[in-house]
Amino acid sequence: MVFSSCGTSVIAKLSPLHRCEGLIKKGVTVGNVAMLYKTALTFSSRDLESFCFRFMLNHLTEVVQTEAFRELDGGVVTDLMVKVAVKGGFKT
């Protein structure tokens, strides 16, 4: 399992994603942030979703050119672009 090296000191009820958010955040890159954002949405991880969104907002030009971004579902992209617009990400 991808997240198995995160440790066992956390409550066992949490999903592997929730248990490892700190470790995951340290590994966020332009190349993987879109996939991690989608994963955060899938597992309702609001903290990781917010972190990934802020990262994408700060690196938007690079992120939208990645393969991971191109693989996002249309609905996810639409919702993401609306959030970016609300935060002023398209202002010049």
For residue 48, the tally of other CB atoms under 10 A from its CB is: 23
CA dist., res. 5 & res. 1, Å (int): 9
Give tens-digit pLDDT for 19-66.
Answer: 788 899 999 999 999 999 999 999 889 999 999 999 999 999 999 999
The b/e string for 64-82 (b: 16+ C-beta within 10 A; e otherwise) is bebebbeebeeebeeebee
CA dist., res. 3 & res. 81, Å (int): 29
Statement: residue 13 has pLDDT above 70: no
- pTM for this prediction: 0.80
**pLDDT of 12:** 42
CA dist., res. 90 & res. 92, Å (int): 6
- pLDDT band for position 92 (cuts 50, 70, 90): low
CA dist., res. 30 & res. 5, Å (int): 23
